[in-house]
Amino acid sequence: MIVTKQLSKKYGKTEVLHIDSLEIPTGQSFGLVGNNGAGKTTYFNILLDLVRPTSGSIINHNIQVNRSEEWKSFTGSFIDESFLIGYLTPEEYFEFVGDLRGMNKADVAKYLGQFDEFFNGEIIGKKKYLRDLSKGNQKKAGIVAAMMGKPKLVILDEPFANLDPTTQIRLKTLIKELTENKEITVLISSHDLTHVTEVCERIVVLDKGNVVKDIQTSAETLKELESYFSV
């Protein structure tokens, strides 16, 4: 479970995030939506201890993230291409991440074999550095790396951006499969309301750093969100 308590982040006098209380149960597929500047990426950055909160805390499976690094062993994430190591090939990068997750080369090869369709022949065996891949292919590599080593929590910021329609569909299938057993929690932020309602069972809307909606996804959710953002 992810527990957020009295969380705030200020830059100078400007408060960019304020969440009094938010609990995300283990195994939930959770979506975070909002306009630019709503606080989505700030929340993820605090959850990953990339940014320190001004007040409050986030607890990841009983570990306060800014007081211990133990959560890193079971948390996978991809926020943007800065999470990659650009001078490595995808193969080298996957082996590096796999080693951190206790996987040997055979484990990594077996794991990557699941993603042949998702990679679409554009990632493995191309003798390219990650920095030389397209934005979409960098994102594919980052997402697959985030899922390595059987994490308890996977965090993906704007995972559908820069992906072609076929890959978006394949990614939605991967996310649904990831959360089928209700043991892995998946957190997604997205500007795409259609995609996020298709893969997330719960959606929270942020506006200027505040939670303004907390919705259990249903057949009416997309209309509700579209109505909110069209005002």
* CATH at residue 206: 3.40.50.300
Task: Say whether pLDDT at 182 is over 90.
Answer: no
What local confidence, expressed as pLDDT, does residue 63 receive? Answer: 97
Task: Say whether pLDDT at 200 is over 90.
Answer: yes
17 assigned to some structural domain: yes
134 assigned to some structural domain: no
Strands of 134-209, DSSP E: 153-157, 185-189, 202-207
* pTM of the predicted protein model: 0.94
104 assigned to some structural domain: no
Q: Dump pLDDT digits (tens) for 149-173.
A: 989 999 999 999 999 999 999 999 9
Which structural domain, as residue segments, surrounds residue 54? 2-84+141-230
Q: What is the count of structural domains for the chain?
A: 1
Distance between CA atoms of residues 18 and 87, nearest Å: 38
Label residue 179 by pLDDT band (50, 70, 90): confident
Q: Dump pLDDT digits (tens) for 6-60.
A: 999 999 999 999 999 999 999 999 999 999 999 999 999 999 999 999 999 999 9
80 assigned to some structural domain: yes
133 assigned to some structural domain: no
Cβ-Cβ contacts under 8 Å for 159 (sequence gap 6 or more): 78, 139, 143, 171, 175, 188, 190
Which string of DSSP letters, residue by residue, matches 152-170? SEEEEESTTTT--HHHHHH
What are the φ/ψ torsions at residue 30 (nearest 5 degrees)? Answer: -120, 130
| Residue found under tokens 């609990």 | 23
121 assigned to some structural domain: no
Nearest to 81 by CA among 123, 164, 139: 139
Mean pLDDT, the chain, as a whole number?
Answer: 95
100 assigned to some structural domain: no
